[in-house]
């Protein structure tokens, strides 16, 4: 069964990444932290048996730390987060994926084993979702493309997960839940992660 892992990242440059974090730590520190998060995401992605599609925000970078041997590289579609995720899923299923999982690069606790667990959950559920404590999610997977889970969602709010689960339930579909993991959006998040990782 063909598994496809979709990874949405921003091209790493100062003043463009982790803007909420940068408000308190500055652009250069935010960029360093983002590069660290990218490294953790890359290691997790390389630890799962799947076709890996790396979706840059702006332009494909060929001379970076994401080897072409391990990652198919492309750019994200235009639009808000929902539109970009929907387009990535649509493309994956159009190219033969039987299970697809999407992640960002903000969750340093994510591992290859957890990603494999998410794909395995799709053997028995229509969807799989990885919750974050702030009401969002760090991972979403599906067996069949369904764009309704991305429509009319107010992104970057504490209602994202609840509304997504409501859409899944309304469609009569099942959803497996992964462990709750924290993502890093603010300096407080980063400090909490560094304390937990010590």
pLDDT in tens, 136-169: 999 999 999 999 999 989 998 999 999 999 999 9
3-state secondary structure labels for all residues of 31-49: HHHHHHHHHHHHHHHHCCC
Residue 128's closest CA among 138, 139, 136? 139
Residue 133's closest CA among 63, 96, 91, 181? 181
Res 198 pLDDT > 90: no
> pLDDT band for position 1 (50/70/90)?
low
When pLDDT is averaged across residues 23-33 and rounded to a whole number, the result is 96
Res 5 pLDDT > 70: yes
Q: How many residues does the chain have?
A: 198
Interval 103-136: pLDDT, tens: 999 999 999 999 999 999 999 999 999 999 999 9
State whether residue 63 is helix, strand or coil. Answer: coil
- The whole-angstrom distance between residue 69's C-alpha and the CA centroid of its chain comes to 21
Task: Spell out the domains of the chain, with CATH numbers in brackets.
Answer: 3-197 (3.90.550.10)
- Backbone φ and ψ of 140, nearest 5°: -145, 135
Contact assessment for residue 153 and residue 163, using Cβ atoms and an 8 Å cutoff:
yes
**Cα 81 from Cα 87, distance rounded (Å):** 10
Contact assessment for residue 177 and residue 184, using Cβ atoms and an 8 Å cutoff:
no
When pLDDT is averaged across residues 14-31 and rounded to a whole number, the result is 95
Q: What residues contact 32, with CB distance under 8 A and at least 6 apart?
A: none
């Amino acid at each position: 069964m063909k598994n496809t892992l979709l990874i949405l990242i921003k091209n790493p440059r100062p003043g463009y990444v982790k803007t909420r974090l940068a408000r308190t730590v500055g652009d250069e520190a935010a960029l360093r932290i983002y590069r660290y998060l990218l490294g953790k995401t890359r290691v997790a992605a390389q630890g799962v048996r799947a076709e890996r599609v790396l979706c840059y925000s702006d332009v494909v970078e060929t001379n970076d730390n994401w080897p072409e041997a391990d990652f198919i590289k492309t750019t994200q579609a235009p639009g808000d987060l929902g539109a970009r995720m929907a387009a990535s899923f649509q493309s994956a299923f159009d190219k033969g994926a039987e299970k697809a999982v999407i992640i960002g690069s903000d969750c340093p606790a994510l591992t290859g084993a957890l990603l494999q667990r998410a794909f395995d959950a799709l053997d028995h559920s229509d969807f799989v979702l990885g919750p974050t404590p702030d009401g969002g999610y760090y991972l979403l997977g599906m067996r069949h493309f369904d764009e309704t889970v991305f429509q009319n969602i107010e992104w970057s709010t504490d209602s994202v997960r609840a509304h997504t689960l409501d859409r899944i339930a309304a469609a009569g579909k099942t959803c497996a839940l992964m462990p709750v993991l924290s993502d890093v959006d603010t300096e407080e998040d980063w400090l909490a992660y560094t304390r937990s990782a010590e």
